[in-house]
Amino acid sequence: MAAGRFTLAVSPHLHQKGQTIERGMTDVLIALTPAGIVAMIVFGMNAFYVMLVSVLTACLTEVVMRWVLGRKHTLRDLSAVLTGVLFAFLLPATTPLWVVAVGAFLAVGVAKELFGGLGRNIFNPALFARVALMVSPLWLYITKFPRPFFYRTVGFFTPVSVAINNEVAGRVVYRGLFGSVYPDVVTAATPLSLLKSGKMLATTISGPTPVGSTWVTVAGRPTFWAQFLGVHSGSLGEVSVLALAIGACWLLYRRTIDWRIPAGIFGAFLLVTLVTWNYPVFSLLGGGLWLGAFFMATDWVTSPMTRRGKWIYGVGIGLTIALIRLWSPLPEGVAIAILQWNVLTLLIDRYVAEPRFGEVGRSWLNRLPPYPKPGKAEPDKPVPAN
Amino acid sequence: MSGRGYRTFRGGVHPPTHKELSSSKAVTQAPVPAEVVIPLNQHIGAPNVPLVSPGDRVDVGQKIGETEAFVSAPVHSSVAGTVRAVEDVRNFTGAIVRAVVITADAEQPAFAAARMKPVGELTADEIRRLAREGGLVGMGGAAFPTHVKLTPPRDKPVDTVLLNACECEPFLTCDHRLMLERPAHIVEGLKLLVRAVGAERGIIGIEANKMDAVDGLRAAVSSEPGLDVAVLDVKYPEGSEKQLISVVTGRKVPPGMLPGEVGCLVQNVGTSVALYEMASIGKPLYERVVTVTGPGLRSPGNFLAKIGTRISMLIEAAGGWAGEPARLIMGGPMTGWAQEEPVASVVKGTSGVLVLTPELVDARDEHACVRCGKCVEACPMFLMPNYIAEAAIREDWAKAEMYGALDCFECGCCSYTCPAYIPHVSYARKAKAQLAALKKR
């Protein structure tokens, strides 16, 4: 058999099996599954609807935006699905679904596609959307967290406005479109807002305790096991440390993420909280630290690529989270800390020099060699095509 | 995977080796072709001038091209026959080179061993002259003239000779077969190399997936003081010069420098055997072992092929095409050159002819970089391949150098592991060519 002409290509002629963008995204989705299941157990169908609407809106936004911008469709790389799930994980299960849709649109449409699509975005899309909603008039919808096992479903159009005045003993009344009043959502303070409000020392809290004392201490704050397994108030995906840790193991095993970033975050955070002795374990297990350290800060696009860069970025995020939690009016700072360091990522990659093989005494700063500016050089002879 | 947990370097990748296709096939003589095409330039350095003209009779091992320049290596006829032409041909990289085309006689005489000075009595200068006369070049692929490497500058003495027996490229088994079949010759060659540069020790660096060869080599060096075998992790590119030196000796060759800087000399096992053959029977480098393999061939094997043999002949020798051949490569799959048609001829640096099928090629469209950092993690030189590629796209050569383009030796780990299928190597090559041009002016 005479073979015809073969294709020409530059070496290497092999590619690592299964090393694709889809596979990376799939691995993160697999890793998020345990946390998603816990969310549906703890918060019921609300959690499922929030995730569903978030993913659908994210995908729809990607398709429409790329069509409008005249770009190739990339739904197959699953990054929109992942952004949808991650964004849902940052919301209270009782978020009105239209608010979820607005946020998912901001995540994919603005934070990703307007910046140039996957690979060009500066901010982690899900975190960007979450913080954008926080500073918008919709902030109230996403800062009231339901109690665990509060199962009453909130529909798509249900609440149009929230009257903060109606909050009595942890009850938020959602007002409907035409003055109708919808079922109450029983909210509870998150562990970190308890910490921030100084209620850690209180002996009792008012209001009903829906679950037994396994989950809530007499003082009304979640027990260690409640925090570890996820039976406390908080956003969808952040509550269960166990579920997130299982997912993190998968990501580290698959080498989808680099261990240096979470190591830097946890190391720096623990250092500060241990030195200041501000409920270190309670603070470590509460809030979005685990979700942030393993699933948000490690986002390929928005984290540095060199080893030095990863350490700087990780430690920086850990310190910033500790600073915000300890000395700012905000109870929680994971999202803001990561977004801050997202901005610095490009600078880190550009200026922080990594020593080359065999190089000693390289400075920490990358310097440009003194050559003419782009496009000025003409080669003496043409470069071979192959 | 077997062969892990030994000494190794930072970075690199673990491609499946596929060596089982040909590692058990003993080296056999490839049929002598009716016509050989011998490029005059098969090495890095000055081009040769032809010593023969059309119509001349040539003998096996007769010198047919030479130059006065120091950094160069002569070429020899691989057959007995008549020179048909001295013409321009396209070599395996696609470049146009001058070549001597020789029509081989139907009857090929065996090589007549010359009477040589006993190998043990050769001086350093004599060994260097033999290396030059024999047309010896690095047979791992780079084809740098051996006698040049054997002439270290006076202020940088070499104390360690490393014999590169890693063969870290997937699929290739030519060095493995040499080690199994001729361990004594390899060690004799190594002794010559050690003597030529006045080194204290010679170490054979070999990957742990060739333990059968390790046994033979260990037996061969056991009675030789100063010689040793170092077993290394199975990882690509373990056999890269700088990586090998760092793994075996712990010394790091600084960027832009040669191994001599840290007192080392690296040679391939094939070169070692060729040096021994030249020194013992005066046989110049006119044939070499080539692994002809891949799932696109019916019966892969290792062949002793005359320099100048067209690869179509080797493909026939390996049983012809099988399945659905998708890519034809000269060299290994990580650094080899893709061929459009099987017309190029075997040169001194040709270690393999490889035919891949579609499921192995896995070619896809390039996606925008997703900044995952896997190329940075895989780069054995600790560069930033994706930034080099980006700088090359924007023709910002200063930035390409800042991110390390000049240190790139094109191993291909970056592209191998890239989820976005970015061909970093081709961008780095472009940047290197442009930077070389910039430095000249």
DSSP result, B242-261: HHHHHHHH---PPTT--GGG
Q: Consecutive 10-residue runs of chain B (441 residues): their mean pLDDT?
A: 78 94 94 94 90 94 93 95 94 92 92 87 94 93 90 92 95 96 95 95 95 94 93 94 95 92 94 95 95 95 96 94 92 94 94 92 89 95 95 92 93 96 95 89 70
CB contact under 8 A, B410 and A304: no
Look at the domain B32-104+286-359 and name its fold: Ubiquitin-like (UB roll) (3.10.20)
Per-residue pLDDT, A167: 43
Residue A367 lies in a domain: no
Residue A168 has pLDDT above 50, yes or no: no
From CA B413, how far away is CA A16, in angstroms rounded? 9
Separation CA B336–CA A10 (nearest Å): 8
Is any Cβ of chain B less than 8 angstroms from the Cβ of A20? yes
Among the partner-chain residues B326, B368, B437, the one whose CB lies closest to the CB of A118 is B368
Q: Is the pLDDT of residue A187 over 90?
A: no
pLDDT beyond 80 at A197: no
Q: How far is A282 from chain B (nearest CA, A)?
A: 33
pLDDT tens digits, residue range A134-158? 999 888 778 878 777 766 655 555 4
Residues A15, B362: C-beta atoms closer than 8 Å:
yes
- Predicted confidence at residue A220, as pLDDT, reads 65
CB contact under 8 A, B370 and A378: no
Tell if the CB–CB gap between B384 and A306 is shorter than 8 Å.
yes
Task: Tell me: pLDDT of A60 over 50.
Answer: yes
Show me where the domains of chain B are located: 32-104+286-359, 121-281, 374-440
In a domain, A319, yes or no: yes
Q: Report in angstroms the alpha-carbon separations of A215 from A149, A222, A228, A231, B63.
A: 12, 6, 10, 7, 89
A188 assigned to some structural domain: yes
Give yes or no for residue A213 having a pLDDT over 60. Answer: no
3-state secondary structure of B184: helix
Question: What confidence score (pLDDT) does residue A204 get?
Answer: 45
Determine the residue type at A311: W
Give φ, ψ of A279 to 5 degrees.
Answer: 45, 60
Helix H segments across A279-367?
A: 280-285, 289-291, 307-327, 334-351
Which pair of structure tokens corresponds to residue A287?
């809030």
**Is B273 in a helix, a strand, or coil?**
helix
Cβ-defined contact of A305 to B382 (cutoff 8 Å): no
Any B CB within 8 A of A380 CB: yes
Range of the domain at A76: 21-351
Question: What pLDDT shows up at residue B361?
Answer: 87
Which residue, among B371, B382, B393, B399, would best test binding to A if mutated, counting the most A CBs under 10 Å from its CB? B371
Domain-located, residue A311 = yes
Distance from CA of B277 to the nearest CA of A (A): 33
Binary contact (B252, A357; C-beta < 8 A): yes
pLDDT at A372: 59
pLDDT at A211 over 70: no
Q: Which of B334, B394, B440 sits opposite A12 (nearest CB)?
A: B334
How far apart, in whole angstroms, are the C-alpha atoms of residue B57 and residue B37? 15
Establish if A4 belongs to a structural domain: no
Give the percent of chain A with pLDDT over 90.
Answer: 51
Please check whether residue A377 lies inside any domain of the structure. no
Contacts of B376 in chain A (CB under 8 A): 305-306, 354
Please indicate if any CB of chain B lies within 8 Å of the CB of A117: yes
Q: Tell me, what's the pLDDT at A210?
A: 47
Report pLDDT for B245.
Answer: 96
Q: Does A24 touch chain B (CB under 8 A)?
A: yes
pLDDT for res A145: 81
Q: Which residue of B has its CA nearest to A117?
A: B368
Q: Is A137 exposed, middle or buried (0-12, 13-18, 19+ CB in 10 A)?
A: exposed
Spatial CB neighbours of A116, under 8 Å, sequence gap ≥ 6: B368
Report pLDDT for A163: 36
Q: Do A380 and B333 touch (CB under 8 A)?
A: no
Q: How confident is the model at residue A194 (pLDDT cuts 50, 70, 90)?
A: confident
- Whether pLDDT at A176 is above 70: no
pLDDT given at position A178: 45
CA distance A293 to chain B (A): 16
DSSP string, A193-251: HHHHHTGGG-S---S---S-TTTB-TTSSB-HHHHHHT-SSS-TTTS-HHHHHHHHHHH
Chain B residue at shortest CA distance from A23: B419
Total domains in the fold of chain A: 1
Q: Mind telling me how many Å the CA of A8 is from chain B's nearest CA?
A: 5
Q: Is residue B293 within a helix (H) or strand (E), and if so which, with residue range?
A: strand B287-293
Residue type at position B97: V
* Chain A residue with the nearest C-alpha to that of B252: A358
Shortest CA distance from A21: residue in chain B: B419
Query: How many residues appear in chain A?
Result: 386
Distance, in Å, from the CA atom of B420 to the CA atom of B275, rounded to the nearest integer, reads: 44
Q: Which residues of chain B make contact with A303, given a CB cutoff of 8 A?
A: 371, 373
| Mutate which: A357, A376, A386, vs B, most B CBs within 10 A | A357
* pLDDT of B323: 87
Chain A residues touching B361 at Cβ < 8 A: 13-14
Q: Do A384 and B93 touch (CB under 8 A)?
A: yes
A165 CB within 8 Å of a chain B CB: no
- Give bridge partners of residue B76 from the DSSP assignment: B63
Q: Is residue A272 part of a domain?
A: yes
Q: Which amino acid is at B374?
A: K
Check whether domain B121-281 has CATH 2.60.120.560, yes or no: no
Contact across the interface for A360 and B254, Cβ inside 8 Å:
yes
pLDDT of A185 reads 56
Residue pair A247/A294 in contact by the 8 Å Cβ criterion = yes
Q: What is the pLDDT of residues A248-273, one digit of tens each?
A: 999 999 999 999 999 999 999 999 99
Tens digits of residue pLDDT in A328-386 = 888 888 999 999 999 999 999 999 988 899 888 777 888 887 765 555 445 555 555 44
Mapped onto helix, strand or coil, the DSSP state of residue B203 is strand
Flag if B360 and A1 touch (Cβ within 8 Å): no
Distance CA B206, CA B192 (A): 19
Burial class (CB in 10 A: 0-12, 13-18, 19+), A111: buried
Within a domain: residue A14? no
Residue in chain B closest to A120 (alpha carbons) equals B370
Chain B environment of A377 (Cβ under 8 Å): 395, 397, 434, 437-438
